[in-house]
Chains A and B, each alone.
Chain A
Amino acid sequence: MPSSTSSSDSEPVYSRRVPEISWPRVAVVAAFLAAAGVGIWEAAWRIGEHYEASYRNSDGQFAEVRRRVDRREPNATVFIGSSRTQFDIDLDVWQELTGVHGIQLALEGSNPLPILTDLADDEDFAGLLVVGITPPLVLMPGIGSRADALERYYNETPSEWASNKLSYPLERTFAFYNPDAALFRLLERQPWWPEREGLPFEAPEVRKIENMRRDRQSDLWNRVEDDPELNQVVTSTWKAILETLPPPPPEEEARAAFETLLANVARDVGKIRERGGEVVFIRPPSSDWFRDFENRATPRERVWEPIVGAAGAVGVHFEDYPELREAHTPEWSHISSRDKAQWTRALVGILKARMAESGVHRPEIGS
């Protein structure tokens, strides 16, 4: 036989060559330089860019929080929506006023209605669902850019679960461990790259605007409020994104899609109510150019009112309450972290009153 699976036979056992150098010396130098480089990099982000360590808003974090609905808190208060619902509601204040620490499932830049459908189909959920509506996003087909988060909840592998757990200590330690500070994102946004003639305009990536907590509630980063240059970067990004949205579908098609949307909302809310749950809708504030755009493209009477009407649910629109209107939205779309506690207090009070008026009594909110 030319070869064998037995080492006792004549052929030598295959062995890789190792370069003959002073490996300990090389390893010490490499480890020291790499650690020094990472230390300097961290310092540069903290001192130069005023970054703080923050959770990464990962799909794994979403999946982990979503699992609370199934296992620990079937009668929880759950928040879904887009980034406004995530930034504007202070879960600690909500808990102080209601005794319940909510489950934050809002996803930035996303349409919450598929998540509503998902929760409606989840037999374990029979609590209070707060749906935040951001008019342009609610008309998107599907969840949008964060669709992977829900997919992750359903199909998370043991390895992904473990990686997520191991990532948390790094996320709360290193400021640079943030997608906004990743090397190639940093390189790509540098101003030195000339425009390529003929390339269609594409909205820039949204910069870091938040600090996320372990329970997925986000605070608008104070620097977005305090640094006029960063504030301008963020507002111009919103403008670019909204101005490059794909054109709406033809009138007939849009109408049919909206009718389907309303029917789905009614069906989903009905399913949750049948199990003893309840759904309320909120419209968090926006301002300036963003609000004008929303009012123009998705007027309240054509989007908000029909959705709340189809659900037959309590709906709280910020425009109807001075105490909700007054919150400061530094970059037009999210409430300042300094105002969110007060805004949440006002929202809870209004929701309690509105639900009581409507004869809806929920232990989760004390109405």
Chain B
Amino acid sequence: MLFNSLTFVAFFVIVLALHNAPLPWKVKKTNLLLASYIFYAAWNPPFVLLLWLSTIVDWWVAKGIYATEEKSRRRALVGVSIAVNLGLLGYFKYGGFLLENWQALMTAIGVTWTAPGWNIVLPVGISFYTFQTMAYSLDVYLRRAKPADSFLDFALFVTFFPQLVAGPIVRPTQLIPQFQEPVRANRNQLLWGLGLMTLGLFEKMVIADGALAPAADAVFGADGAVPFADAWLGTLAFAGQIFSDFAGYSTVAIGAALCLGFSLPDNFRFPYAALGFSDFWRRWHISLSTWLRDYLYIPLGGNRKGWHRTQANLMITMLLGGLWHGAAWTFVVWGGLHGLYLGIERFIRERWGDAKVASTAGFRLFLALLTYFLVNLTWVFFRSKDFPQALSMTRAMLGFGAPDGELVLSTFLVTTVIAVTVGMLIVHWFMRNRRLEEVVARSPWWLTGLVWAGMMFLIVITQGTGNAFIYFQF
């Protein structure tokens, strides 16, 4: 079920009540597990079977790995985990894409072959929970952790509803220990959790869906080429939309978990104030970028095998990170651009990183704006439906667009995008080196109350469109 739905409100009230009822801890955990299955089944009940498959395989695989010192057996077992999880992903997410490309390849070499129809529904959140369970087996294999003691705790770690379908992708070492001892949110945790849920829903319903989605949809849904201004405004709108949508989801997830007494890690840290791309990836979808770092980039050799291997490892990691987002070459290019940016940044940093100018305020502001500019160019590939549209948009944004591009945005949408984008950049810059908790702690209590009330009021009067979160499709 969606966080921005009335069903979730009712569901969460019931879960909260049960979690605070005078019941044994094991019963409460069982309640949470059942609630998580209901949460997932509310989309498509049969897909719960996939969750069970992933849970059971990784539970036994990790136990098997831990029980043996035999290298080949450990390797075979971790191979089972990777094969099952990536197999699920491959079948449901990439099956159609692979067939399409195989057909194109066959055609290119003169073999006439038509791929069979591939109308498989993508199970929501599959990219997230497969990565989470794989991390568990990999951690045990890499001797970073030992298996969970309780199957209930492990099943709850895989399925915990706040972060099940769109992260943060939690590590077993962060969450499983929290299930071992009875926890219940104290009054402050509960209220701060509700505040975070309000903030997340505000980002999703008011900023992403209400203010920015109409402009992004209009520009990226246009039939023909659009002019310079509209191309930029549509892309800025999408940049704000995807941040508010995804960070909004993560914030609700963190808030919902906190209301129950559990702590989830941050997934975003004001990424549009990033100074360069390594900084950007320390602030954007942190749980995925650290997952890719720990389970792909470092095992590939990271930066330990020379300059060329480092650059290649970076590029491989970002290309696969792009492909993780969606089964299309546009996502691969998106990842590739980020890989390229990271490579160039590394090159520049190695040569001129110590230059005095790098620490001046003016240069830092310039660097932040340059990073934001380049990130926006990547969003074009992320959002475009195909390469011709992505190239047409990029040309328009760089000033080489068709002179007869048709305007698509009204004055209202232009104003909204500019106002929200400027506001968002100011907030990100102000918060760059701060934490939300600090800012709230230092603010007058009445101001916090006023802001909270304002967000609740705006959520209610925006009414919401009931749109799914963008990252559900990944």
Q: Which residue of B lies closest to A166 (CB)?
A: B6
Partner of A24, one of B145, B147, B187, B189: B187
A37 touches B457 (CB 8 A): yes
Partner of B409, one of A2, A4, A33, A196: A196
Asked if B440 is an interface residue, CB under 8 A from chain A, the answer is: yes
A166 touches B10 (CB 8 A): yes
**Given the complex of chains A and B, what is the CA–CA distance between A292 and B231 in angstroms?**
41
A6 touches B149 (CB 8 A): yes
Q: Which of A90-98, A119-127, A187-195, A212-220 faces chain B?
A: A187-195
B188 touches A18 (CB 8 A): yes
Q: Which residue of B lies closest to A25 (CB)?
A: B445
Chain B residue numbers with a CB within 8 Å of A176 are 461
A196 touches B411 (CB 8 A): yes
A37 touches B453 (CB 8 A): yes
B411 touches A29 (CB 8 A): no
**Given the complex of chains A and B, what is the CA–CA distance between A187 and B265 in angstroms?**
37
A158 touches B45 (CB 8 A): yes
Chain B residue numbers with a CB within 8 Å of A31 are 453, 456
Shortest beta-carbon distance, B174 to chain A, in Å?
Answer: 5
Chain A residue numbers with a CB within 8 Å of B147 are 5
**Given the complex of chains A and B, what is the CA–CA distance between A14 and B265 in angstroms?**
8
A187 touches B177 (CB 8 A): no
A26 touches B448 (CB 8 A): yes
Shortest beta-carbon distance, A240 to chain B, in Å?
Answer: 14
Shortest beta-carbon distance, B216 to chain A, in Å?
Answer: 14
Chain B residue numbers with a CB within 8 Å of A5 are 136, 139, 145-149, 172-173, 176-177
B144 touches A193 (CB 8 A): no
Given the interface contacts A14-B263, A19-B440, does A29 sit within 8 Å of B450 by beta carbon? yes
Chain A residue numbers with a CB within 8 Å of B2 are 159
Chain B residue numbers with a CB within 8 Å of A163 are 1, 5-7, 466
B180 touches A30 (CB 8 A): no
Chain B residue numbers with a CB within 8 Å of A193 are 410-412, 415
Asked if B295 is an interface residue, CB under 8 A from chain A, the answer is: no
B445 touches A26 (CB 8 A): yes
Contact with A along B1-21 (1 / 0, CB 8 A): 110011111100000000000
**Given the complex of chains A and B, what is the CA–CA distance between A193 and B412 in angstroms?**
6
Shortest beta-carbon distance, A80 to chain B, in Å?
Answer: 25
Of the candidates B254, B410, B460, the one having the most CB atoms from chain A within 10 angstroms of its own CB is: B460
A27 touches B191 (CB 8 A): yes
Chain B residue numbers with a CB within 8 Å of A16 are 189, 254, 258, 263-264
Asked if A263 is an interface residue, CB under 8 A from chain B, the answer is: no
Asked if A179 is an interface residue, CB under 8 A from chain B, the answer is: yes
Asked if B441 is an interface residue, CB under 8 A from chain A, the answer is: yes
Contact with B along A159-202 (1 / 0, CB 8 A): 11011001100100000110101111001101001111011101
Chain B residue numbers with a CB within 8 Å of A41 are 457, 460-461
**Given the complex of chains A and B, what is the CA–CA distance between A193 and B194 in angstroms?**
36
A4 touches B43 (CB 8 A): no
Q: Which residue of A lies closest to B415 (CB)?
A: A193
Shortest beta-carbon distance, B301 to chain A, in Å?
Answer: 20
Asked if A34 is an interface residue, CB under 8 A from chain B, the answer is: yes
B6 touches A38 (CB 8 A): no
Chain A residue numbers with a CB within 8 Å of B446 are 29
**Given the complex of chains A and B, what is the CA–CA distance between A51 and B178 in angstroms?**
50
Partner of B191, one of A7, A17, A23: A23
A182 touches B448 (CB 8 A): no
Number of interface residues of A (CB under 8 A): 61
**Given the complex of chains A and B, what is the CA–CA distance between A162 and B2 in angstroms?**
12
Partner of B211, one of A2, A166, A167, A184: A184
Shortest beta-carbon distance, B422 to chain A, in Å?
Answer: 17
Shortest beta-carbon distance, A249 to chain B, in Å?
Answer: 16
Chain B residue numbers with a CB within 8 Å of A159 are 1-2, 5, 7-8, 42-43
**Given the complex of chains A and B, what is the CA–CA distance between A28 and B454 in angstroms?**
13
Chain B's interface size range is 35 or more
**Given the complex of chains A and B, what is the CA–CA distance between A22 and B447 in angstroms?**
12
A29 touches B263 (CB 8 A): no
Shortest beta-carbon distance, B20 to chain A, in Å?
Answer: 16
Partner of B449, one of A33, A157, A187: A33
Asked if A245 is an interface residue, CB under 8 A from chain B, the answer is: no
B449 touches A183 (CB 8 A): no
Chain A residue numbers with a CB within 8 Å of B149 are 5-6
A183 touches B461 (CB 8 A): yes
Asked if A256 is an interface residue, CB under 8 A from chain B, the answer is: no
Chain B residue numbers with a CB within 8 Å of A206 are none
Shortest beta-carbon distance, B333 to chain A, in Å?
Answer: 31
Asked if A13 is an interface residue, CB under 8 A from chain B, the answer is: yes
A182 touches B462 (CB 8 A): yes
Asked if A20 is an interface residue, CB under 8 A from chain B, the answer is: yes
Asked if A47 is an interface residue, CB under 8 A from chain B, the answer is: no
Within 8 A of A (CB), among B427-474: 435, 437-438, 440-441, 445-446, 448-450, 452-454, 456-458, 460-463, 466
Within 8 A of A (CB), among B257-313: 258, 263-265
Chain A residue numbers with a CB within 8 Å of B458 are 183
B42 touches A195 (CB 8 A): no
A29 touches B453 (CB 8 A): yes
Shortest beta-carbon distance, A83 to chain B, in Å?
Answer: 21
B463 touches A200 (CB 8 A): no
Chain A residue numbers with a CB within 8 Å of B192 are 18-19, 23
Chain A residue numbers with a CB within 8 Å of B452 are 26-27, 30, 34
Shortest beta-carbon distance, B442 to chain A, in Å?
Answer: 9
Chain A residue numbers with a CB within 8 Å of B210 are 182-184
**Given the complex of chains A and B, what is the CA–CA distance between A194 and B411 in angstroms?**
6
Partner of A179, one of B174, B445, B463: B463
Chain A residue numbers with a CB within 8 Å of B5 are 159-160, 163
Partner of B445, one of A14, A15, A21, A198: A21
Chain A residue numbers with a CB within 8 Å of B42 are 157-159, 162
B461 touches A23 (CB 8 A): no
A184 touches B143 (CB 8 A): no
**Given the complex of chains A and B, what is the CA–CA distance between A1 and B175 in angstroms?**
17
Given the interface contacts A1-B143, A21-B440, A158-B41, does A30 sit within 8 Å of B415 by beta carbon? no
Chain A residue numbers with a CB within 8 Å of B194 are 27
Asked if B44 is an interface residue, CB under 8 A from chain A, the answer is: yes
A30 touches B449 (CB 8 A): yes
**Given the complex of chains A and B, what is the CA–CA distance between A1 and B147 in angstroms?**
12
Q: Which residue of B lies closest to A168 (CB)?
A: B6
The 6 closest A-B pairs by CB, nearest first: A29-B449, A33-B453, A159-B42, A7-B177, A159-B1, A30-B452
Seed contacts A5-B172, A14-B263; 20 additional CB < 8 Å A-B pairs: A4-B177, A5-B145, A6-B149, A8-B180, A14-B177, A18-B189, A23-B191, A25-B449, A29-B453, A30-B450, A41-B457, A157-B44, A159-B42, A162-B7, A166-B9, A182-B461, A183-B461, A188-B412, A193-B410, A193-B412
Give B contacts to A, CB under 8 Å: 1-2, 5-10, 41-45, 136, 139, 143-149, 172-178, 180-181, 187-189, 191-192, 194, 206, 210-211, 214, 254, 258, 263-265, 406-412, 414-416, 435, 437-438, 440-441, 445-446, 448-450, 452-454, 456-458, 460-463, 466
15 A-B residue pairs with Cβ-Cβ distance under 8 Å, sorted by A, are A4-B145, A11-B173, A14-B177, A22-B445, A23-B188, A24-B187, A30-B456, A33-B450, A41-B457, A159-B43, A183-B206, A183-B210, A190-B412, A193-B412, A198-B407
Give A contacts to B, CB under 8 Å: 1-8, 11, 13-34, 37-38, 41, 157-160, 162-163, 166-167, 170, 176-177, 179, 181-184, 187-188, 190, 193-196, 198-200, 202
